[in-house]
Amino acid sequence: MKRKHSLVLVPLLGLSMALTACGGDDGDSGDSGSGNDGGSSAADGKIGVILPDTESSVRWESADRPALEAAFEEAGVEYDIQNAEGDAERMTQIADTMIGNGVTVLAIVNLDSESGAAIQEKAKSQGVATIDYDRLTLGGSAEYYVSFDNTVVGELQGQGLADCLGDKKANIVYLNGSPTDNNATLFAEGAHSVLDEISNYTVVGEQAVPDWDNEEAATIFQQLYTAADGKVDGVLAANDGLGGAAISILEGNGQAGKVPVTGQDATVEGLQNVLAGTQCMTVYKSATQEANALADAAIALVNGEEAQTTGTTVDSSDDSEVPSILLEPQAITKDNVGDVIDDGGQKLEDVCAGKFADLCTEAGIS
């Protein structure tokens, strides 16, 4: 079945192409990230966005927040962006405050589906429309789901690892993302769909990392590495943070650069590891592109309109279909690290700092 919208919707005419995340000045967002350009608003409403944390990935504050701020400022819409700091109770409190302060659209990156669904149900009861940003809330009631195609992310990771390993017999360890994050499930499914078809590969360890905690990931990988007697030829790590944790253990065992490791998010550290050869690849998901897609959908809802979607996503908890805007991710290897910098995903001076300057030059990045 398909989820029914709680709002009366009319077709959207061209709004999705109207926003950009570059150009205009960023507004003064204060401590909480709230902002308004002070002029006449393009939409008669207010948008709230709750980001998940600052630990699982640096992307949320370094990439998503500024891209969202730029998109909302460009559109002249009132907004409030806050971070739950990895605390589901805090996210609930922030959501209650935002609803009390008059947001008409609320977008969340859930910390787990149960708490996310409860937030969405409370919002719905108050006449506030909701959007799932980056992660689908299973059993939720979001009007839209805005993300990258996360099964494809996993497929890119699986194919990237296979490209680095080649046809030789290889033992693989999976270091999966948080079990409470539906995206992590999709990443793993996508990777398995590629790697399980290669008969020369054997899975010698697989474990999810609670809350995407990088320190815990290092402990988990050390245990998996020891259980495999050090006979690990490749690591399918779900993001750059987990990949970095695995690399730290491999370094301690003299295997960094010899055992290919995957990643995701194209973080500065991840790109530097790719350039250094200790990480096989990462996956780039443009925060600007995703933020613009969220802004388009949120502003459409503020205006009582229907956002342009690319299809639907099945909520596995009840088989409902969620109207979705799914974007295409990009595999990044040493050969195209420059694409991330050219797109504005990372700054040249950050990636190519210090000892990485020569590696950037060798890769043709300048």
pLDDT at 29 over 60: no
Q: Using alpha carbons only, what angle is made at residue 237 by residues 232 and 239, rounded to the nearest 5 degrees?
A: 160
Contacts of 21 (CB under 8 A, 6+ apart): 67, 70, 71, 74, 288, 291, 292
- What value does the mean pLDDT of the chain take? 90
Return the amino acid letter for 258: K
Burial class (CB in 10 A: 0-12, 13-18, 19+), 344: middle
Q: Is the pLDDT of residue 27 over 90?
A: no
- Note the pLDDT tens digit of each residue in 273-298: 999 999 999 999 998 899 999 999 99
Q: Confidence band (pLDDT; 50, 70, 90) for 55?
A: confident
CB 255 within 8 A of CB 171: no
As a whole number, mean pLDDT of residues 345-362 equals: 96
Maximum average pLDDT range among 15-19, 28-32, 253-257: 253-257
Check residue 242 and give its pLDDT. Answer: 98
Q: CA-CA distance, 42 to 59, in Å (whole number)?
A: 28
**From CA 144, how far away is CA 129, in angstroms rounded?**
9
Q: Is the pLDDT of residue 19 over 60?
A: no
Residue 115 CA to its chain's centroid (Å): 19
Q: In this predicted structure, what is the pLDDT of residue 56?
A: 81
The mean pLDDT value for 182-210 works out to 97
Rounded Cα distance between 316 and 77, Å, is 34
pLDDT for residue 6 is more than 80: no
Per-residue pLDDT reduced to its tens digit, 98-112: 999 999 999 999 999
Tally the C-alpha atoms within 13 A of residue 80's C-alpha that lie toward its C-beta: 18
Q: Range with the lowest mean pLDDT among 36-50, 85-99, 162-176, 214-228?
A: 36-50
Q: Which residue intervals of the chain are DSSP H helices?
A: 59, 65-75, 88-100, 113-125, 150-165, 182-195, 214-227, 240-252, 268-276, 287-302, 337-342, 348-351, 357-362
Q: Is the pLDDT of residue 22 over 70?
A: no
Judge contact between 80 and 98, C-beta under 8 A. Answer: yes
Question: From the CB of residue 222, how many other CB atoms can be counted at a distance below 10 Å?
Answer: 16
Alpha carbon 175 to its chain's center: 17
For tokens 């669904």, what's the residue? 117
pLDDT given at position 30 = 38
Mean pLDDT of 33-62: 74
What is the rounded distance in angstroms from the CA atom of residue 273 to the CA atom of residue 71? 31
Among 246, 332, 226, 236, smallest CA distance to 285 is for 332
User: How far apart, in whole angstroms, are the C-alpha atoms of residue 193 and residue 151?
Assistant: 9
Q: Taking residues 164-174, what's their average pLDDT?
A: 97
